[in-house]
Structure 1
Amino acid sequence: MDNRFILGITGASGVIYGVRLAEELLAREFEVHLIVSNPARVVLAEELGWDIEQEVVAACRQGIRGCFENGLFVYENHEIWAPPASGSFRVRGMIIAPCSMSTLAGIANGLSANLVQRAADVVLKERRPLIMVPRETPLSAIHLKNMLELARLGASIVPAMPGFYHKPQSIQDLVDFVVGKVLDLLEIDHDLFRRYEGGSSSGIKN
């Protein structure tokens, strides 16, 4: 259980966050049980150039670096019979990155219409860590209400809002900042960004 995570990639912009997180977890020899929604496959093609005509397992194994033997397990979202749908499938936690507003709403309202929703429902009921990385702007009152409800249920909401105090030089730096924040919540050591160490207060007025 201690080396196993569920990772959902859903149909919001920012699929690179999920792919990069998978790479970082695999590099540390964790098992990654990846669930890819149908809308996510379209975004993977649009944003990363993945061939969605391929069988999804082959596409993920080709697109995600560092897949050590037996480390990456891939499911499609309709496979409601897959292991992550069961509470007896013990995991260290689940991350949804990026998390679409549709997925967020479904989980907040207890739906289990697909594997991502069911796996998240199981993680919540078993009181295991659930981390959601929403990527949407602006946010409506409905979006905010659903995030508040999930936070009250124990989920961690990590909006894809990169910081700039570490002076990013590339898109990769911005992605790594958000992925690093997720790893922090999972209590996994990393050096994906330079941590804030305080600054000069000279010249600053109240």
Structure 2
Amino acid sequence: MSAGGVGRQRLIVAITGASGVIYGIRALQILREVPGIETHAIISPSAFRTAQDEVDMSAEEMKALPDVLYGHRDIGAALSSGSYLTTGMLVAPCTVKTLSNIATCNAGELIPRAADVCLKERRRLVLMFRETPLHAGHIALMEQATRNGAIVMPPVPAFYSKPGSLEEMVDQSVGRALDLLGVHLPHVRRWTEG
């Protein structure tokens, strides 16, 4: 049985305010082209603010990317219940605040609540954590999130793919993150596969 409409899987994409909102945007753009995927997104106000500095896309254009968009404070949304079936969740990028809320089960807003639901229901949760350098507190939060069941995947470029542009580098990282959610894309270059 699929976690979505007839023959479709619901996949959650959350975009937070860390630098790198392009990761979440590209995930939503790419997933629009994948048959059988229904995207459910939560975009924080900070993500819209960061996008003003990083991408040539208006808030309205960002809001139009997912199949379903939720308000970041709507803790009564479908995604806040484990009975609402989803395949999993990608947080791209993931701020320190979001990581902290997920690691400590602080579910006062919808992004950490939806993440907590994924963890308690044993669904995949992938965090593209965007911070560097790291101090001991960051490392402890990553450890706790991992112990809770999350997959912490900082978007580290894979240079063996020989990216020719920033877009190729972003797409490779997004593709690898989506691999962890069971979405395998043909454009992802894999080691020894050319």
TM-score (norm 1): 0.85
The letter for the 1-side match of 2:32 is: L
Q: 2:58 aligns with which of 24, 34, 51?
A: 51
Q: 1:159 aligns with which of 150, 154, 157?
A: 154
Cα displacement (A) at 1:186: 1.7
Cα displacement (A) at 1:89: 1.0
Does 2:117 correspond to 1:117? no
Query: What secondary structure, in the 3-state scheme, does the structure 2 residue paired with 1:165 have?
Result: helix
In 1, are the aligned partners of 2:21 and 2:93 still within 8 Å (CA)? yes
Does 2:15 correspond to 1:12? no
Classify 1:87/1:20 alpha carbon distance in 2 versus 1 (closer, same or farther; 3 Å): same
Name the counterpart of 1:180: 175
Name the counterpart of 2:125: 130
Name the counterpart of 1:35: 42
Query: What secondary structure, in the 3-state scheme, does the structure 2 residue paired with 1:12 have?
Result: coil
Q: How many residues align?
A: 187
The letter for the 2-side match of 1:59 is: E
Aligned-residue RMSD, C-alpha: 1.7
Query: What secondary structure, in the 3-state scheme, does the structure 1 residue paired with 2:12 have?
Result: strand
Query: What secondary structure, in the 3-state scheme, does the structure 2 residue paired with 1:94 have?
Result: strand
Classify 1:191/1:118 alpha carbon distance in 2 versus 1 (closer, same or farther; 3 Å): same
| Higher-Rg member (1/2) | 1
- Extract unaligned runs of 5+ from structure 2: none
Does 2:174 correspond to 1:193? no
In 2, are the aligned partners of 1:173 and 1:193 still within 8 Å (CA)? no
Distance in 2 (CA, whole Å) between partners of 1:51 and 1:185 is 29
In 2, are the aligned partners of 1:133 and 1:157 still within 8 Å (CA)? yes
Distance in 2 (CA, whole Å) between partners of 1:97 and 1:80 is 20
The residue correspondences of 1:133-148 to structure 2 (distance < 5 A) are 133-148=128-143
Identity of aligned residues (%): 40
- Extract unaligned runs of 5+ from structure 1: 53-57, 65-70, 199-206
Query: What secondary structure, in the 3-state scheme, does the structure 1 residue paired with 2:159 have?
Result: coil
Name the counterpart of 2:164: 169
Cα displacement (A) at 1:61: 4.5
In 2, are the aligned partners of 1:133 and 1:158 still within 8 Å (CA)? yes
In 1, are the aligned partners of 2:176 and 2:188 still within 8 Å (CA)? no
Query: What secondary structure, in the 3-state scheme, does the structure 2 residue paired with 1:196 have?
Result: coil
Cα displacement (A) at 1:26: 1.8
TM-score (norm 2): 0.90
Name the counterpart of 1:203: none
In 2, are the aligned partners of 1:50 and 1:59 still within 8 Å (CA)? yes
Once the two structures are superposed, residues 88-136 of structure 1 have per-residue CA deviations (whole angstroms, 9 ceiling, x without a partner) of 1110001100000000001100101100011111111111111100111
Cα displacement (A) at 1:191: 2.3
